[in-house]
Chains A and B, each alone.
Chain A
Amino acid sequence: MANEIKRSVTPYKLFTQRKNNNSTRFIGKFLLYFLLFLSAALALLPFYWMISTSLMTLGETINRKWLPAVPQFVNYINAWKEADFAKYFMNSVIITLTSIIGIMFTSTLAGYAFARIKFFGREVIFAIVLSTMMIPETITLLPNLMLIRGNIIPLPGGSWMNTLQGLTLPFMANAFSIFLLRQFFAQIPYELWDAARIDGCGHFRFMAQVVLPISKAPMMTVLLFAFTGSWNAFAWPLLVTTKDTWRPIMVGLWTFVSEAGPETHLLMAGAVISLLPVLVIYFITQKQFTEGIATTGLKG
């Protein structure tokens, strides 16, 4: 494009400028790609290190090779069986599924109501919900721990420490998911609702049969963030699980750091196992992730 514009300049100048342009452009392009590849390498290096170490023998990890001579897949079996990663993994699967179902349920209903139902005090309540986004987790940890222990109000069954409900209930609703869905639901044309109402449709049926089928993209984004948020959760499960009945994989991996000691190959195998579900889902749906975040611009 620049060349087209510069055609009005004198021929001599055009010649030198073009030549100059081409060589600088080449160097520029080269530099850009160099920076890109360097950053990509730095972003991926820890993953490479984790995978290659997880396939080494103990001797190889100590002498610090870049690649194992023979990949030791047995490390994964050892981590899976001996270090109880099988149990932690299944715990995490159940905890994550429960949280996702809860979040989808609460946030579609609330997102729909904040977008489409006119009820008294709606804006004020929505503002209060949004304001919870700036509350740091560390502040809520202690009071929530006391709540779950049954110290503040008596709970059915006494303490909820080391229980599924204790691990999942506090995460079953969040302002981010509600906000994201509300923004989308609010854009759905009102003609659709008028038509549905003439057909005798209530809010719930309209939501279930009309709104949700056309909201697959934002629902997917909410689901993905619910998934990573719950799978990656650390501080809360660390507090609430004192036994390994319901210990999720992140806490399991964390306690394994001290247990594994110098056996870094086993630790890295555990790390890869803990990462696998996130990686698989991210590679399948990465567009949803990045676009979901780009359109909301909010930290999940």
Chain B
Amino acid sequence: MIEEDLKTPQRKYSARMRRFTENITGYLFVFPALLIIFVFGLFPIGYSIYMSTFQWRVRKGDFIGIENYSKIIGDWTGLVIFIAGIGLLILAYLLWINASKAKSNYVKIIKFFAAILLLAFGFVISIGWDKMILLGDEGFLNSLIITVFYALGSVPLQLIIALVLAYILFQNIKGKELFRMIFFLPYVTPVVTTAVVFRIIFSPRETSLANILIGRLGIEPLKWLFEPKTISELMFGLKDLSGLLAGPSLALLTIILFGVWTFVGYNTVIFLAGLGGIPKEVYEAAEMDGANSWDLFRFVTVPLLSPITFYLFLISFIGTFKAFNHIYVMKVPNAQKTVVTASVQIFQTFYTENNFSVAATEAIILFLIILGLTFAQNKLLGDRVFYG
């Protein structure tokens, strides 16, 4: 009897109690992970912003506001023009995408406009860039160009190779598992270890493996990692080009090859997973229409795989902006500034030059760029994001 009476209030009490303990348990469970992530992952961002507003070489100096930023960017109107140029690029992209929705006679006109906008984009950003580089921090701004070279050089190459390899492996190939294991191997091996080997393979000596191999093709020995000259100069003797037009140096190209060698296997594995997701019926239908294996690849595999290709492209592109170890361990002094990407530049600014506030400022600028790229990635991908 007494028990009966007590039941209702006790239940109410225990339900609220349970919710309370549920909350407490949740916080207790996430606390250790959150503590570390907040202290060593998020706090550094805030502290970098704080440091970037001071004069700070090893010891903290005076508060100087945005002067560090002004010194790096050089000319704020240049930056505004540059960003306006990127706006033009986005506009051109949107026009191009929406062109197919318009009435058929207008499609070509709209696409023509988009192409003009694209040209304007190139023109406007180069004006903005020239203004910035005239007064700004040449070292850091150039390192951004090197980063773009590194990204554009390695990402498409590594994706094309990975796609072809994944497509081949997806056919009924004997020893598929073994090949997949071999291709993935470079991705798990330590960067320092493989870099040490690559530095010997691509050493400037006449007897290095790279020079022996190109010697078989009748090419004179090259200096590889030690070569600051650009490829356009080495191949065509073009000496007077500068900035973006000059292109990457041979040393940077060697590092790009190293990056491609490392990451092809990773991309192959993801492509393989994507290929497994394409329904067999599509292939069967195409075969019934008389498609050969090249047609199947070109008109079925490539388009149906495009969300994954796109995802990998953006992830790898952002990854190259973050890359540090791969470049740092392959860098030799002879290559001069031609292999110093933004993250290497940041590292050198605080590690060798001890200029903490400038390093923090550069880090924040790089972070903003990566933030922008990530934002663009999410916008472009929309719902097509592939989490598996």
A contact set with B: CB distance below 8 Å? 1-2, 5, 24, 28, 32-33, 35-36, 39-40, 42-47, 49-50, 53, 62-64, 105-107, 109-110, 112-114, 117-120, 122, 125, 128-129, 132, 134-144, 146-147, 152, 169-170, 172-175, 178, 183, 202-204, 228, 231-232, 234-235, 239, 250, 253-254, 257, 264, 267-268, 271, 274-275, 278-279, 282-283, 286, 289-290, 293-297, 299
Residues of A within 8 A of B279 (CB): none
Q: Cβ of B32 and Cβ of A282 under 8 Å apart? A: no
Taking the complex as formed, is B156 at the interface, i.e. its CB lies under 8 A from any CB of chain A? no
CB distance from B314 to the nearest CB of A (A): 11
Q: What are 22 sample pairs from A and B whose C-beta atoms fall under 8 A apart?
A: A43-B185, A43-B265, A44-B185, A49-B200, A49-B201, A106-B36, A128-B42, A136-B322, A140-B44, A142-B51, A143-B43, A143-B51, A143-B360, A152-B47, A203-B29, A250-B190, A253-B196, A289-B188, A293-B269, A293-B270, A294-B273, A297-B386
Per-residue CB contact flags for chain B residues 166-194 toward chain A (1 = under 8 Å, else 0) read 00110101000001111111101111111
Residues of A within 8 A of B287 (CB): 1-2, 5
Taking the complex as formed, is B318 at the interface, i.e. its CB lies under 8 A from any CB of chain A? yes
Taking the complex as formed, is B116 at the interface, i.e. its CB lies under 8 A from any CB of chain A? no
CB distance from A57 to the nearest CB of B (A): 15
Other-chain residue from A138, A264, A293 in contact with B363 (beta carbon distance below 8 A): A138
Docked complex: B315-356 residues within 8 A CB-CB of A: 315, 318-319, 321-322, 324-325, 328-329, 343, 346-347, 350-351, 356
Taking the complex as formed, is B45 at the interface, i.e. its CB lies under 8 A from any CB of chain A? yes
What 8 pairs between A and B have smallest CB-CB spacing? Answer: A119-B26, A113-B29, A143-B44, A110-B33, A294-B273, A136-B322, A64-B207, A106-B33
Taking the complex as formed, is B266 at the interface, i.e. its CB lies under 8 A from any CB of chain A? yes
CB distance from A239 to the nearest CB of B (A): 7
Q: Cβ of B179 and Cβ of A64 under 8 Å apart? A: no
Q: Cβ of A136 and Cβ of B324 under 8 Å apart? A: yes
Residues of A within 8 A of B22 (CB): 117-119
Taking the complex as formed, is B293 at the interface, i.e. its CB lies under 8 A from any CB of chain A? yes
Q: Cβ of A122 and Cβ of B188 under 8 Å apart? A: no
Residues of B within 8 A of A105 (CB): 32
Residues of B within 8 A of A295 (CB): 273, 388
How many chain-B residues does the 8 Å CB contact rule pick out?
96
Q: Cβ of A147 and Cβ of B40 under 8 Å apart? A: yes
Residues of B within 8 A of A64 (CB): 207-209, 212
Per-residue CB contact flags for chain B residues 135-174 toward chain A (1 = under 8 Å, else 0) read 0000000000000000000000000010011001101010
